[in-house]
Amino acid sequence: MVLADMGADVVKVEDPKLGDYLRALPPGKGGMSGRFLAVNRGKRSIALDLKDSAARATFLELVTKADVVVESFRPGVMAKLGLDYDTLAANNPKIIVCSISGFGQTGPYADRAGHDLGYIALAGVLAMTGGVAGGAPAMPGVQIADLAGGALWVRRRSSARSSAVSARARARTSTSR
């Protein structure tokens, strides 16, 4: 979302069987969730089963034109799919790979799947969401941990990131004249 807001051409790769479950969560209109639209604005998407060799070839073709691949699998999944850094770099030597996992690349929870509801439950925030007294907590209207974590990362990296983005923008502007 932030990269698209900054002008990047973001292509989101989705599972062809399930896609992004957020599309179906209410409230929505015409089969499209407001939540989905809010966090995916400015992105294009493609459905690829990365376990399929033809789909992997399509993904690798996308990599040849990309500056950055951001992946959010558990540690080791990209390697199991045959899409580790060395494979991506063989297709695009300038590629930058950013691996984001729910609980980091190492440590006791590294192999656990990470989801926003799980993070806010572990932090105790889910219990404060105003569900029915004595009942289950209510699901928040936004992805609290994902957005807050992203905001903290952007804040922490903003000066270096802004400089890098500005330098790239200046370089593209100067070469396009």
Residue numbers annotated as active site = 146
Distance (Å, whole) CA 152 – CA 138: 25
Could you say which DSSP state residue 94 is in?
Answer: T
Task: Determine phi and psi for 62, rounding to 5 degrees.
Answer: -60, -40
**Tokens of residue 82, six digits:** 């045959």
Residue by residue, DSSP assigns 99-164 as: E--TT-SSSTTTTS---HHHHHHHTT-GGGS--STTSPPPPPSS-HHHHHHHHHHHHHHHHHHHHH
